[in-house]
Chain A
Amino acid sequence: MKRRDFLELSSLAAAGALLLPSFPSFGGSVVDPARLLEPVMDATVNKRLADAALNAAKSAGASYADVRIGRYLNQSLFTREKQVQNIVSTESFGAGVRVIANGTWGFAATNTVTEAGIAKAAQLAVQIAKANAKVQKEPVRLAPQKGYGEVSWKAPIQQNAFEVPIAQKVDVLLAANAKALENGASYVNSALFQVNEQKYFASTDGSYIDQDIHRIWPTFGVTVVDKQSGKFRSRQALSVPMGLGYEYLTPKAADKVMGPAGSDVVGYKNSYDMLEDAGRAAKQAKEKLTAKSVTPGKYDLVLDPHHLGLTIHESVGHPLELDRVLGYEANFAGTSFATLEWKKQGKPYGSKVVNIMADKLQPGSLGAVGYDDEGVKTKQWPLIKDGILVDYEKIRDQAHIVGQNESDGCCYAQSWQDVQFQRMPNVSLQPGKTKLSVDELVSGVDKGIYIAGNGSFSIDQQRYNFQFGGQVFYAIEKGKITGMLEDVAYQANTQEFWNSCAATCDESDYRFAGFFNDGKGQPSQSSAVSHGSSTTRFNGVNVINTARKVG
């Protein structure tokens, strides 16, 4: 990552940048914002272009081919305090053709989206496949997939964020900054990221799939500096990147979820009150300056969904990616403790209350699409049932390895010019079936810490040992929140941690955390994913104190 990107992101503490991020907003060509609303994709034209690619691939000797014609639109707004720092609108348009020839994958992409241009890319893909076939050991085996004919899917949004005038969006960010400054912030950076993927997929299986996908992420970082002591503390937004339109920025009372009594934490479901959160963030950052530094030791942790989503992502979502399990990511992202042999032993991944589902369906989530990037209709499937690992995350060329005959529909490419591969679906902890509020959950904790918001995070390459921070921490003593704590991070082992899971709140507390920039692969690709959960209790987790004195 270049230093400039690093600074732009680090001022927001890069809450979504999970692993060697490549930042989608910086790809593509810079365009006039009005361009983002111009219709370019036409299913009739795209079908003709796609057929040209598929026919060219078949004539060149491909046994299978798929083509993705994609238009990827991004707009990002950056502000600090009372000023706009940057507004960038980008467009990237082109087509990628993937083929199997001589039992081997080949891929080529072009931004010349004409019948001739796309056919040439198809021929090149076949040429590459044939060259790679010479060093191939086992031929690719694809799970069967029926063609769907001509179908389409649109994200269920109410308002396309690109239709909202930039001035109006800038006003929201500057108003949030003003709220933070009014409430004692020394500095505040805010940003709004908006994405629209217009994708047309066609394959030799007989599918022609037209999709329109939207994502939005408003966020900020507030810093309070105490000049006298030289101390500073920050608090990041508790917003969530969502698969929604601009309606996410119109707060609705029903979407606000209160944290436990005494905590001053508010979580958000399908809409976000940015001004309220910015004001609260400044107050909390100020309070952090004088909060009690935690005494290290074992605590029962009560984790809010915004925080827990990241723990789920790192300790469940990643280790169950089948490509990691098999060793394809060994040189970069790593492998997994949850090998096929480990799964066979039937050891508990977590306690009996741990039920984790994978899905590409939940409305408003980042993973929700109608069909994945290899033309498979999306679904929901269990990963962990009553604490036991029952399945992985897999795509068409992996299903046979675990004796299955269908893909899970979680194949994705970050753009038309990147090859699609297995990516994490939404991975979510199921809410408790019996009624349990956050206050009831806290009331049973004798010595604990309530953590809200995701913060610092680090996990090993096989997903055993992790360390997580957070945004705000509150001491729990004898069933009650007694005040703010600072310098908190917890260290645990994935299996011990999930086996210490004692209880999870009911559906009324369920909401998403999400990430725009989950990184995997070489060259690295970024994908967006959500993780749902309710506030959950984990017993006897090791907490460390992170304060250090330097020079």
Chain B
Amino acid sequence: MALLSRDEAQAILKKVLSFSKADECEAALNGRTRGNVRYARNAVSTAGGSDNVSLVVQSRFGKRSGVATCNQFDDETLRRCVQRAEEIARLAPEDPEYMPLLGPQQYLSPATFAPATAAISPDLRARMAADSIAHCEGRKLTAAGYLEDGTRFTAMRNSKGLEAFQQSTTVDFSVTVRTPDGAGSGYAVADYTDVAQLDAKALTKVAADKAAGSLGAKAIEPGKYTVILEPAALVSDEGMFNRLMYALDAREADEGRSFLSKKGGGNRLGEKLFDERVTIYSDPLNTQAPGDVFDGDGLPVKKMTWIEKGVVKNVYYSRFWADKNKRAPTAFPSGFIMEGGTQSVQDMIKSTKKGILVTRLWYIRDVDPQSLLLTGLTRDGTFYIENGKIKHPIKNMRFNESPIIMLNNVEAIGRPQRLGGNLIPPLKIRDFTFTSLSDAV
């Protein structure tokens, strides 16, 4: 039941809308199957899977709206679900930020679905985990890793004629390799649409090399250093790069509570805030990192430039805020692409006289929303570079830095690679601020 075709999904949604007595009605079906395997201490610790399809119905009477959900799809259940949404809507307060439902839309159709990923079996997961563990056991190292794959579909339909559907797959793999004495640690991470591109063994080797190479780390004095930030140091759930992109919100800026707020009111759209080599856009059709083609409102996600040559070209306008400010609404994309060059991390090391290679940044939190100052620590592979070569591993350090300052201090931009559904290059940044040492490995 978990994965429905476009026709199957739309047939259910059509039926749902036929039961509606509301002024407006919108229904969405979301389905997902997921599987995972987790290992630590060179042994599999847990493995599991889940699947679920759920229907969300939103009914509206004037500016009042109500939502109900169900996960069974017989006529009686669907009818009850619609009725419940209508009952809740009648009792709801009027929404002062009400926006009418969207009518028919045109959507892009990227290749977000890979049959090989949808067909991943528990055996394949176990084999990838076993390969990763075997590589580490052979080198007397300890692996802890996680592999998760998922296939999902989203279908939407409303009483104004909107009709949307998308299917997608992803596979995520990460591994941390440690030396038995706990004095060395390395990390590698990747995600793909098509599992055929995933080489868990090769990624494990990268992490294992970093672990073995980080034994005997030396302490250096915290301060401002040139750093090469690998993509995993820029993108994570709360990474420097994501945090900046999340902050490009028009309403917060217009309300005066964002780094994009202008003195005296308004926002800094159109101003040059970053180095002129910084260009960031989103494009659901990108073949390496294809993305979602509609957002939760059914608004089409199209190619959009957010920052061009250092200038803020677009910020996020919700439908309500766009309407209020007479602007086009912005669909928030599922991933971003930062333009880069052709240099690999190795090339960037070669051209560095003195600097630090950072594998990963961790536990990143806001310190000051006014400057977007963030803090966090290096983790799982931090190395000192001298005269174009990795000289020795160094102890981890805490940073306090703002992505705005970071993207003004650009020395070089490398070749982008996919991470977390984004395409992100390694960056060489000067004067990156480290404020204290950590004993953590």
Contact = CB atoms under 8 A, between A and B. Distances in A.
A330 B142 CA distance: 10
Contacts, number: 207
Given A128-B47, A328-B45, A460-B396, A30 B68 contact: yes
Interface string B37-58: 0101111111110100010100
Interface stretch (A262-270, A385-393, A461-469): A461-469
Contacts of B265: 227
Contacts of B47: 128, 131-132
A461 B396 CA distance: 11
B146 A331 contact: yes
A467 B262 contact: no
A227 B263 contact: yes
B67 interface: yes
B210 interface: no
A216 B264 CA distance: 39
Interface residues of B, number: 87
B70 A29 contact: yes
Nearest to B38: A522
Contact of A457 (B95, B146, B296, B365): B365
Q: Which applies to chain A's interface (DSSP): helix, strand, loop or mixed?
A: loop
A329 B263 CA distance: 46
Interface stretch (A1-9, A176-184, A245-253): A1-9
A548 B50 contact: no
Contacts of A493: 439
Contacts of A136: 43-44
Interface stretch (B172-180, B224-232, B299-307, B349-357): B172-180
A234 B252 CA distance: 13
Interface residues of A, number: 78
A542 B398 CA distance: 14
B205 to A, nearest CB: 16
Interface stretch (B7-15, B18-26, B372-380): B372-380
Nearest to A105: B46
Contacts of B67: 30, 88
Contact of B69 (A30, A170, A523): A30
A458 B130 contact: no
Contact of A1 (B56, B95, B237, B332): B237
Interface in A76-121: 83-84, 87-88, 105, 107, 109, 111
Given A29-B69, A417-B50, A465-B377, A230 B175 contact: no
B282 interface: no
Contact of A456 (B175, B182, B261, B366): B366
Contacts of B93: 84, 170
Interface in A36-75: none
Contact of B438 (A7, A31, A460, A489): A460
Contacts of B40: 327-331
Contacts of A460: 362-363, 377, 379, 396, 398, 438, 440
A327 B372 contact: no
22 contacts: A10-B366, A32-B84, A87-B92, A88-B67, A131-B122, A227-B263, A227-B264, A232-B257, A326-B41, A327-B178, A331-B176, A332-B146, A419-B46, A458-B363, A458-B375, A460-B398, A465-B440, A467-B398, A491-B436, A493-B439, A548-B373, A550-B405
Interface of B: 36, 38, 40-48, 50, 54, 56, 67-71, 84, 87-88, 92-93, 95-97, 122, 126, 130, 142, 144-146, 148, 174-176, 178, 182, 237-238, 246, 249, 255-257, 259, 261-265, 271, 273, 296, 332, 362-373, 375-377, 379, 396, 398, 400, 402, 404-405, 408, 435-441
Interface of A: 1, 3-4, 6-7, 10, 13, 19-20, 29-32, 83-84, 87-88, 105, 107, 109, 111, 128, 131-132, 135-137, 170, 186-187, 223, 225, 227-232, 234, 326-332, 334-335, 337, 339, 417, 419, 456-465, 467, 469, 487, 489, 491, 493, 522-523, 542, 544, 546-551
7 interchain residue pairs of minimum CB distance:
A465-B438, A225-B256, A330-B144, A462-B440, A460-B440, A230-B263, A331-B144
Given A29-B69, A87-B92, A135-B43, 4 more contacts: A460-B438, A464-B438, A465-B436, A544-B400
